[in-house]
Amino acid sequence: MLELSNSIINIQDTETLFDLILEKAIDVVEEATHGSLMILTADNKLEFKSLIGYKDILRDVHLNLKDTFLYVETDGHISDPIIIRDIQSFDQAHLDDDTFESMEEILAFELKTTFKFSNF
C-alpha cells in the first residue's frame, strides 16, 4: 500500500493512475489474471478505463448505470457493496442484444469476482 501511495505522487495522468490501481488490485487477489476498472460519467454511463487480460475493444462498451447488476440489485444504492456470482445471466437478461453480444465476443464474461470502489 505504501508503494501505491508513493507511486501516486508522481503520476501525471488518470490513465496511468487507473492502470496502477488495477495492477495492484490484481496483485492482491489470489489467482486473479484479469481485471478492469470502470468510471461513472456525468451522464450515468460506466466506461472501462483500465483493462488487464481483456481485449481493448471492451473500452468501446459503455453501460447505462441503471442496466447494471449493481444498480438493479441495490435498488439504485450503488454505494452498497455487492457480490456478483453470475454476471453473464444477469447481463443477458438486462442488456440490449448488441451490447451483450459485443461483451460475449470479447470474453468479458470470464469475470469471476468484482469489487467496487466508490468516491474515487
Give 71-95 pLDDT, tens digit per residue: 888 888 888 767 666 777 777 777 7
β pairing state of 35-40 and 62-64: unpaired
- Domain assignment of residue 11, given as a range: 2-110
Q: What is the mean pLDDT of residues 63-70?
A: 85
Residue 25 lies in a domain: yes
Q: Is 20 left (phi over 0), alpha (psi -120 to 50) or beta?
A: alpha
Which pTM was predicted? 0.67
Residue 118 lies in a domain: no
If you search the block for the grid coordinates 442496466, which residue do you land on? 67
d(CA 93, CA 106): 18
Cell of 55: 481485449
Residue 120 lies in a domain: no
What confidence tens digit (pLDDT) does each residue in 1-26 have? 667 677 777 788 889 989 998 998 88
Residue 117 lies in a domain: no
Cell of 58: 471492451
- Number of structural domains the chain divides into: 1
Cα atoms in the Cβ-side hemisphere of radius 13 Å centred on 118 = 7
Give the model's pLDDT for residue 49.
Answer: 94
Give the model's pLDDT for residue 73.
Answer: 81
d(CA 111, CA 84): 9
Residue 38 lies in a domain: yes
